[in-house]
Amino acid sequence: MKTLQNRVHDAVTVKSCNSHFCRQVFKETLRLCPPVIGTARTTPEELCAGHRIPAGTMVLLPAFVMSRQEQFFKDPLTFDPERFQRNEDSPLYAYFPFSMGARSCIGQQFALIEARVVLVKLFQKLHLKWVPGQKLGMLDRLTVRPSSQCLHYITERVKSA
């Protein structure tokens, strides 16, 4: 957490929240903790892709499971924003926190900008320190959220000279 905060603080000004590192942090967060764990589609016609799937079948597309697969992401459980820099971009259909296709998230571009602005604004002014002893879990309630309070000590960030 400390390294992440320092790097965001050093690398980013509000003007430059387009910074690569900020994008990578957000992309990696969505990979490990996609707020929508998956979606479903109904096949309009019979599909044959390894298996025969009859028309009218509901197919579940688990973004959460796909983005944690070793075959697509090296050390999948490690939070490593720079994996997106090392041209380790996942195969197209392994990473889809905003879903894909005609009914994908209409707010994707807005969400990407909004999240970076909030991240930058917060970390520029504040220092967050995880309150020890808490268990970090995820709760799926249509969208995913922390299962507990996620308590932090918050102090004002002191600018280093």
- The annotated binding site for heme is made up of 105
Sole residue written with tokens 């599909």: 47
35 versus 76: smaller Cβ distance to ligand HEM: 35
Q: Within positions 69 to 108, which residues make up the interface with ligand HEM, using CB under 6 A?
A: 97-99, 103-107
Q: Tell me the C-alpha distance between 161 and 158, whole Å.
A: 9
Binding site, by residue number, is: 105
Is 54 a binding residue for ligand HEM by CB under 6 A? The answer is no
61 versus 128: smaller Cβ distance to ligand HEM: 61
Q: Which residue is nearest to ligand HEM (CB)?
A: 107
Residues facing residue 39 across a β-bridge:
61
Draw the binding track, 21-50, toward ligand HEM (x: CB under 6 A; -: no contact): --------------xx--x-----------
Applying CB under 6 A, what is the total number of residues that bind ligand HEM?
Answer: 13
Give the nearest distance from C-beta 156 to ligand HEM in angstroms.
Answer: 28
Contact between 126 and 152 (Cβ < 8 Å):
no
Q: Is the dihedral of CA 6, 7, 13, 18 positive or negative?
A: negative
Q: Tell me the C-alpha distance between 108 and 77, whole Å.
A: 24
Is 141 a binding residue for ligand HEM by CB under 6 A? The answer is no
Q: Is the dihedral of CA 91, 94, 96, 99 positive or negative?
A: positive
